[in-house]
Structure 1
Amino acid sequence: MDEAKKPIVIAIASISGGGKTTITKKLNERLPNSKALYFDEYDLEGPENVIGWLNRGNDYNEWNLSPFVKDLEKLLTEPFDYIVLDFPFSYRHADMHSFISFSVFIDTPLDIAFARRTIRDFQHSSTEEIMEAMKHYTSQGRRGYLEMLSTIKPSADFVVDGSQSAARIVSLILEQI
């Protein structure tokens, strides 16, 4: 590969349930000569207590992204035109910032994201487990969602309305690229 021509690295960020994985997959399908990495496929070390992490000032560098970074570095040596990252932290993690060429934040309304997350994560759960998850969200978890809206969203190069269809979101991203 020509050293002067590096792949364009596109980070897709959003709150949990915001559509990162879906949009990453569909964007990867539409972009020529591309590869995708998915954050949730890695067992990454991060803060054990997210609320404590928020109270300490939400330093994204507390997450050890070494396996994710290593795989990205390997992909950057291959002849891809694009690398699409399902990566919730956008530019906010020091180990990833310099690799990202373009960051997208999918701005999905909290109710839609929470409904998607509940459907995705609790489809085989009991009513009690679902109720407990809802109680946790309303008492503490929502803070994590709001934190991303105040730190990740403003750092993105492009913000897209996450209540639109996946096809529309991908089309809007492609127009920006």
Structure 2
Amino acid sequence: MKPVQIILIAGGSASGKTTVAKRIANVILKDKSVTYLSMDNYYKNFPEMTLQERKKMNFDHPNIMDIDLMVKQLVELKKRQAIEVPKYDFTTSLRMKETFRVEPADVIIIDGIFTLHIDKIRKFGDIKLFIKTPDDVRFIRRLTRDIEERGFTTDQVINQYLETVKPMHDFFVGPSIDFADVIIPYQEGNEVAIDLVATKVASWVD
């Protein structure tokens, strides 16, 4: 049985990580044995707190992630065992009651801001990518996303960005670029870099 290969995709908030991951998994390699997984599903759960208290939490610090669960499930995927992944609701900042099943595959693509910062996760990476996107582009994307999809106000997004997102990016996320095997300067339609990675991955599953 061939070993399971894991691709880790890191980068700042709203840098384009998920776009790149899903393009490789669902478009370029859609007929291959490839599964996509987001680190965003592994935020810790704090049901005892009020919504207002949860909204004030620092979601850009690695301590907010349930690393033990993620490591456990990555080990299971490496053993070609199916896993039940938590669903996280960003409008309530809580895990949902239901989970979703992820089947094992030859290649697992995982994106998240801390995939290269956290050593316990980074050691799973057979290819480690960092999506490098200008700060102003990332902020505009985050502003739009958090208002339209996550129920934040403009002031909440701006305050969160200045108080936690940018400082945590500068301290934890940005420096993790040093662990990357490949750095992708993200821009709309950067097909060359994505295709190069996809070609390498395709060689694993042919």
TM-score (norm 2): 0.67
Residues 77-156 of structure 1 mapped to structure 2, 5 A cutoff = 77-78=79-80, 80-123=105-148, 125=151, 129-138=153-162, 140-148=164-172, 150-156=174-180
CA distance in 2 between counterparts of 1:50 and 1:38 reads 15
For these two proteins, the number of residue pairs brought into alignment is 164
Are the equivalent residues in 2 in contact too, given 1:50–1:144 (CA < 8 A)? no
Greater Cα offset, 104-113 or 73-82 = 73-82
Kindly provide the amino acid, as one letter, of the partner of residue 160 in structure 1.
I
Q: What percent identity do the matched residue pairs reach?
A: 25
* Aligned twin of 1:22: 19
Worse overlay, 99-108 or 63-72: 63-72
Residue 108 to residue 114, structure 1, CA distance change in 2 (3 Å): same
Taking a change above 3 Å as real, the CA distance of residues 105 and 10 of structure 1, as seen in their structure-2 partners, is same
Which residue of structure 2 aligns with residue 56 of structure 1?
none
Checking the alignment, whether the CA contact within 8 Å between 2:117 and 2:173 is kept in structure 1 is no
- Runs of 4 or more, structure 1, over 3 Å off, are 48-51, 60-64, 138-141, 166-169
Gaps of 5+ in 1: 54-59
Structure 2: any 5+ residue segments left out of the alignment? 46-56, 81-103, 202-206
* Higher share of residues assigned strand: 2
The equivalent of 1:57 in structure 2 is: none
- The amino acid of 1:154's aligned partner reads D
Partner of 2:72: 70
Of the three residues 10, 14, 17, the one matched with 1:13 is: 10
- Displacement after TM superposition at 1:161 (Å): 0.8
Match of 1:174 in 2: 198
Deviations 1:122-176 (A, max 9, x none): 12757xx203422442355322222345411121111001123264552242255
Q: How big is the shift at 1:49?
A: 4.2
Question: 2:43, 2:160 → 1: CA distance?
Answer: 23
SS in 1 for 2:35: strand
**Higher relative helix content:** 1
After superposition, residues 22-41 of structure 1 pair within 5 angstroms as 22-29=19-26, 30-31=28-29, 32-41=32-41
Bigger mean CA deviation after superposition, 18-27 or 98-107: 18-27
